[in-house]
């Protein structure tokens, strides 16, 4: 694996791309989205995080496309982690 600029959420996203087991894929997509949403929440207070925010939007778009392609039910991050994502804007 190459060095990741934002490993906290990029590593789980890479693991999604390598997963071939459909049941594990769902879990890994959910986990990657959780890591993304938690990091997005942290970035709200960081004024110079535009590059990472754009990378997150791109990764989230890819995960959502994969969900559609594989016909995987959307993950409700608010249900899973209501306090951590309170006040966040969903992508």
Count CA within 13 A, CB hemisphere, residue 19.
21
d(CA 82, CA 69): 27
Q: What is the mean pLDDT of the chain?
A: 84
d(CA 2, CA 66): 22
Query: Taking 80 as the threshold, does the pLDDT of residue 66 lie above it?
Result: yes
Query: Taking 60 as the threshold, does the pLDDT of residue 54 lie above it?
Result: yes
Mean pLDDT of 19-28: 92
Q: Is 31 left (phi over 0), alpha (psi -120 to 50) or beta?
A: alpha
In a domain, 88, yes or no: no
d(CA 54, CA 46): 14
Query: Taking 80 as the threshold, does the pLDDT of residue 83 lie above it?
Result: no
pTM score, whole prediction: 0.77
In a domain, 60, yes or no: yes
> What's the length of the chain?
91
In a domain, 33, yes or no: yes
In a domain, 4, yes or no: no
Q: Beta-strand (E) ranges in 1-91? A: none
In this predicted structure, what is the pLDDT of residue 75? Answer: 66
d(CA 55, CA 81): 22
Tally of domains in the chain: 1
Q: Which domain holds residue 40?
A: 9-15+23-80
In a domain, 48, yes or no: yes
Looking at per-residue confidence, does 88 or 24 come out higher? 24
In a domain, 91, yes or no: no
């Amino acid at each position: 694996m190459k060095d990741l600029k934002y490993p906290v959420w990029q590593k789980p996203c890479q693991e999604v791309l390598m997963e071939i087991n459909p049941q594990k894929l769902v879990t890994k997509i959910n986990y990657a989205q959780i890591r993304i949403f938690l990091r997005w929440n942290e970035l709200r207070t960081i004024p110079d995080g535009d590059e990472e925010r754009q990378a997150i939007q791109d990764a989230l778009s890819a995960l959502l496309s994969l969900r559609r392609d594989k016909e995987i039910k959307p993950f409700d991050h608010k249900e899973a982690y209501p306090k951590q994502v309170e006040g966040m804007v969903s992508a």
